Amino acid sequence: ILNVEQSPQSLHVQEGDSTNFTCSFPSSNFYALHWYRWETAKSPEALFVMTLNGDEKKKGRISATLNTKEGYSYLYIKGSQPEDSATYLCASTTGANNLFFGTGTRLTVIP
Amino acid sequence: SQTIHQWPATLVQPVGSPLSLECTVEGTSNPNLYWYRQAAGRGLQLLFYSVGIGQISSEVPQNLSASRPQDRQFILSSKKLLLSDSGFYLCAWFAGGHYNEQFFGPGTRLTVL
């Protein structure tokens, strides 16, 4: 079992603000890091999968970076919108078919 | 394209009653299947996974069990529910490759009273 931690646990931001949150994972035997977006009453939706140290991924206003040597990833949202309100989950894997999830960061964007 | 179904969507059960949650996947064959639970204030916890028919691995000791009677069917059961079994249950599948990316069903909200 991998210990994956996310911070903060919850976050409230004003519409238009940019924000970021952190995922920490064991750097040994690292294979991949996944970010998911989970809206209330819906299925978690895959955002990014990251594998290489220094990886940067971007999808619209959302981007993520990866540091495998120190075991962390940042997720950034630029110009937050109310529709960005969701729980953002990260999950790490060593390649043995399983994902180990953090507790998530619950983002609320206030109009 | 692949689709994953779960039912029921919500369930309210008394303590001590049995449980059966079902998950089916369409559009893929021989997937790995997973049951996760999110309890209040907690992260997604892996409960069971299966790499094939009749093959079940349990990640945490509990009063739940899982079965895989068919290639694309995964069932989560309990003989007697506890209050602590309340939570949101998600089924997921993985068909290999792409760094173990998993795809999730819509989930079941279980409340045990």
Tens-place pLDDT, residues B60-94: 767 899 999 999 999 999 999 999 999 999 999 98
pLDDT band at B113 (very low <50, low <70, confident <90, very high): very high
Contacts of A47 (CB under 8 A, 6+ apart): A35, A36, A37, A59, A62, A64, A75, A88
Interface of B with A in 47-86 (CB under 8 A): 49, 51, 59
At residue B43, the pLDDT reads 76
At residue B2, the pLDDT reads 76
Each residue's pLDDT tens digit, A55-108: 999 999 999 999 999 999 999 999 999 999 999 999 998 877 688 899 899 999
pLDDT band at B47 (very low <50, low <70, confident <90, very high): very high
Residues in chain A within 8 Å Cβ distance of B90: 43-44
Structure tokens at A61: 């206003």
Structure tokens at B30: 């021989």
